[in-house]
Amino acid sequence: MSEQPTVTTQVDAGATVQPEDVIEVLRQCYDPEIPVNIVDLGLIYDIAIKPERVDVKMTLTALGCPMAADVMTMSEEARWELGMV
C-alpha cells in the first residue's frame, strides 16, 4: 500500500520501546486470508507504550472474522519479541 495508515501513539515516561519498534513487529502479522500485514491493512488504530507493556487497539477485516483469534495471537506474539505484551 502506498499511503501510510494513521496510527495514534502514546508513550509513557520510562518506556523502553518506541512506536516504530512496535509497528515494525506488527508488520510481521498477516491476515491469514489476505496477503497484507495488519498495519498496512489499516487494522491498527492506537499504540500505547507503557514501561511494563504495550497495548494495541485494532480491528479485524470483517465482523465475525473466523480468523480473529489467530490475528490476535499473532499480534501478541509479535509484541513478545519486544519483551512486552
Domain range list for the chain: 8-80
Q: pLDDT tens digits for 35-84?
A: 899 999 999 999 999 988 899 999 888 888 877 888 888 888 888 888 76
For residues 77 and 80, what is the distance between their CA atoms, to the nearest angstrom?
A: 5
Query: Does the pLDDT of residue 28 top 80, yes or no?
Result: yes
Residue 1: the pLDDT is 46
Question: What's the chain's length in residues?
Answer: 85
For residues 43 and 37, what is the distance between their CA atoms, to the nearest angstrom?
A: 9
Q: How is domain 8-80 classified at the architecture level of CATH?
A: 2-Layer Sandwich (3.30)
* pTM listed for this prediction: 0.79
> 58 - beta bridge partners?
44
* Exposure letters 10-49 (e unless 16+ CB within 10 A, then b): ebeeebebebebbbebbeebebeeeeebbbbbbbbeebbb
